[in-house]
């Protein structure tokens, strides 16, 4: 199995990076869509349109990208035999946090689609910065491998 992973390493890495980009794009877009939905009257056509867009973003981009990122990331860790490396442990912790953030956003988008407004526009703007901060930390860990 290790030989197969070694041969496929560059393809695994390519796929992982591409799907991280898709996932991050979705994580940047969802809070913005929620901000646009926020002032729409509950039950209005405008709210329904933003709710549909958010649902499609989750179904077509966010969900599948999350799964592919995890699968390819785990395959890369096996290929590199990096399970004992501290940088990978830290990266995994941050990716778990990012995955939890994804779930948090998805749950709040569903609430908003039902007419609730669990977060203010200001809170949504602040939460919208989280993926960028985590991305910087994750990329630094992968490139620099500080421990």
Binding site members for heme: 16, 91
Helix axes 2-37, 86-113, angle to 10 degrees: 40
Which tokens in the block code for residue 142?
């992968």
Written in H, E and C, the secondary structure of 28-79 is HHHHHHHHHHCCCCCCCHHHHHHHHHHHHHHHHHHHHHHHHHHHHHHHHHHH
Residue list for the binding site: 16, 91
Which tokens in the block code for residue 82?
């990096």
d(CA 114, CA 56): 16
Other beta carbons less than 10 A from residue 141's beta carbon: 22
């Amino acid at each position: 199995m290790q030989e197969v992973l070694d041969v496929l390493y560059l393809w695994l890495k390519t796929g992982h990076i591409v799907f991280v980009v898709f996932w991050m794009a979705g994580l940047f877009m969802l809070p913005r869509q929620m901000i646009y939905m926020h002032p729409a009257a509950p039950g209005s056509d405008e709210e329904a349109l933003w709710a549909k867009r958010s649902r499609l973003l989750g179904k077509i981009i966010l969900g599948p990208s999350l799964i592919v990122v995890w699968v390819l990331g785990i395959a890369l860790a096996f290929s590199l035999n990096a399970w004992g490396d501290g940088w990978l442990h830290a990266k995994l912790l941050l990716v778990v946090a990012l995955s939890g953030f994804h779930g948090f956003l998805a749950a709040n988008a569903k609430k908003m689609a039902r007419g609730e407004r669990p977060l203010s526009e200001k809170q949504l703007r602040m939460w919208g910065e989280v993926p960028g901060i985590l991305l910087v930390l994750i990329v630094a860990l992968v490139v620099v491998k500080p421990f």
